[in-house]
């Protein structure tokens, strides 16, 4: 929900490839993802809408849908 804190946990299983980073372009967030470790990304969306995220090479992607 907009205005409420969000915590996403990423777990990277594979070693090679472009999945070593996750980018949230709309939030200005980039984090390294280490193989076999959890990486938590926390943010508070200010408004409703869709927040896209991608890997370092923009080959993997996903989205977080923020509602009111």
Question: How does pLDDT run along the chain (68 residues), one tens digit per residue?
Answer: 999 999 999 999 887 788 899 999 999 999 999 999 999 999 999 999 999 999 989 999 999 999 98
**pTM for this model (two decimals):** 0.86
Write down the pLDDT at residue 22: 96
At residue 68, the pLDDT reads: 87
* Nearest-angstrom CA–CA distance, 62 and 22: 10
The DSSP letter of residue 21 is E
At residue 49's C-alpha, the angle toward residues 46 and 53, to 5°, is 90
> CA–CA separation, 47 vs 18, rounded Å?
30
Residues in the chain, how many? 68
For the record, the structure tokens of 31 come out as 């984090």
Q: Which class in CATH covers the domain with range 6-66?
A: mainly beta
């Amino acid at each position: 929900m907009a205005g409420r804190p969000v915590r996403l946990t990423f777990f990277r299983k594979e070693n090679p490839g472009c999945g070593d980073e996750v980018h949230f372009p709309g939030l200005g967030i980039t984090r390294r993802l280490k193989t076999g470790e959890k990486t938590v990304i926390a943010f508070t969306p200010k408004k409703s809408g869709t927040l896209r995220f991608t890997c370092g090479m923009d080959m993997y992607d996903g989205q977080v849908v923020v509602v009111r």
